């Protein structure tokens, strides 16, 4: 019972951290970033990555060992929609992450990151899409837990 509660807690906490991290990235990303803002984005993205791994790990544990069991979830189309969306958003996040990692050399030299206006626009668009995608995942989870869509393809 405790393990289930802790897994659920870490799952929800990590979702909150994902939203906080992506929001920090979105509100910090702008033209002419300072060194401090560059570090803020890089740290937020690191927290985002760790929270994403935690959501994935605790989600797998919840499906396999807790809640309603793997049999319940894996036969639901909404479960696979949720997993697909998580994968798409996770893959989409690679571009910003690699972009932010390229800033480290300048940041360590106490220089601001050099980012073109076009690149800032692309990064902000991707973060918007990530936030939208992650906002749909709890809706799909809520639908799945209530059996909504369980018979869509039967």
Beta-carbon-side half-sphere exposure of residue 151 (alpha carbons within 13 Å) = 0
Q: Looking at residue 131, what is its pLDDT?
A: 97
What are 30-71's pLDDT values in tens digits? 999 999 999 999 999 999 999 999 999 999 998 888 877 788
- Average pLDDT of the segment spanning 105-110: 95
**Where residue 46 sits, what CATH number does that domain have?**
1.20.120
- How many domains in the chain? 1
The model's confidence at residue 136, banded by pLDDT at 50, 70 and 90, is: very high
Does 150 map to a domain?
A: no
In a domain, 152, yes or no: no
pLDDT at 153: 65
pTM: 0.89
Among 112, 126, 125, which residue's Cα sits nearest to residue 40? Answer: 112
């Amino acid at each position: 019972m405790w393990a289930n509660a802790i897994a659920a807690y870490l799952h929800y906490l990590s979702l909150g951290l994902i939203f906080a991290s992506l929001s920090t990235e979105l509100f910090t990303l702008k033209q002419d970033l300072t060194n401090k803002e560059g570090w803020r984005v890089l740290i937020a993205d690191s927290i985002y990555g760790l929270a994403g791994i935690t959501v994935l790990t605790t989600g797998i544990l919840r499906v396999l060992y807790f809640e309603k069991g793997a049999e319940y979830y894996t036969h639901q189309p909404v479960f696979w929609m949720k997993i697909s969306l998580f994968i798409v958003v996770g893959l989409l996040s690679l571009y910003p992450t690699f972009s932010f990692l390229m800033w480290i050399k300048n940041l360590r030299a106490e220089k601001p990151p050099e980012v073109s206006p076009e690149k800032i626009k692309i990064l902000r668009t991707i973060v918007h899409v990530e936030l939208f995608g992650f906002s749909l995942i709890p809706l799909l989870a809520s639908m799945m837990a209530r059996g909504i869509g369980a018979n869509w393809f039967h």
